[in-house]
Amino acid sequence: MGMSKLNIWVTDTDNPCAISNRTWYVTIYNCDGEVLEWCGKKYVVMKAPCGHLEVEVPPGCYRINAVWSFSFAGGVFYVNHFTDSAIVQACCGEHQCVTLFNPSAHRCGTIYIRAIRDLLLQKVLKPELARQAEAAINDVLQFIPRPARGFELDHLDEIEKLVREQEQRQPGAKEDC
């Protein structure tokens, strides 16, 4: 007993039912947001060929994500295409499977537009800046194919509708975590 073994899998783009065939680079973070470093090893950009990495970690709670490429250009570090993050509780002497969802770039842009609209409602962004940002992202989204499977985006309108209905039933009653 002692170490926890993680089997980390990365899905195909926009397909949670298939594992990616490409090489990914996985990073494991402590619960404080720092890259896990233990016994002289940093758990950063670890190669995951064919979307899979098996790694032993000390017991703890971790956030894991992956990128499919990274490089330095002009002294700047660039990464391309992040997975969603996963949280895992790595228990002493146990084996955990972790799946990282690989979203489409279209979903990322669509969610970002919704975040801009929310920031506008919160008066964090000025209307002109929000309009410019949304227009620019919409221009980019015209060149990115929509997700092949609707589940990535189809639920957003439904969630918005349900939240609006809830607010109408209980005006001013917002729940906080």
Which domains can be identified in the chain, with CATH numbers? 4-100 (2.60.40.10), 105-165 (no CATH)
Alpha-carbon distances of 52 from 35, 76, 114, 159, rounded to whole Å: 19, 28, 32, 33
Distance CA 37, CA 35 (A): 6
pLDDT in tens, 27-38: 999 989 999 999
DSSP structure string for 28-71: EEETTSSBPEETTEE--SEEEGGGEEEEEE-SEEEEEEEEEEEE
Q: Could you read off the pLDDT tens digit of each residue along the chain, which spans 177 residues?
A: 689 999 999 999 888 889 999 999 999 999 899 999 999 999 999 999 999 999 999 999 999 999 988 777 777 766 668 899 999 999 999 999 999 998 887 788 888 888 898 899 899 999 999 999 999 999 998 988 777 776 667 777 777 777 778 878 876 655 555
Supply the pLDDT for residue 151.
Answer: 67
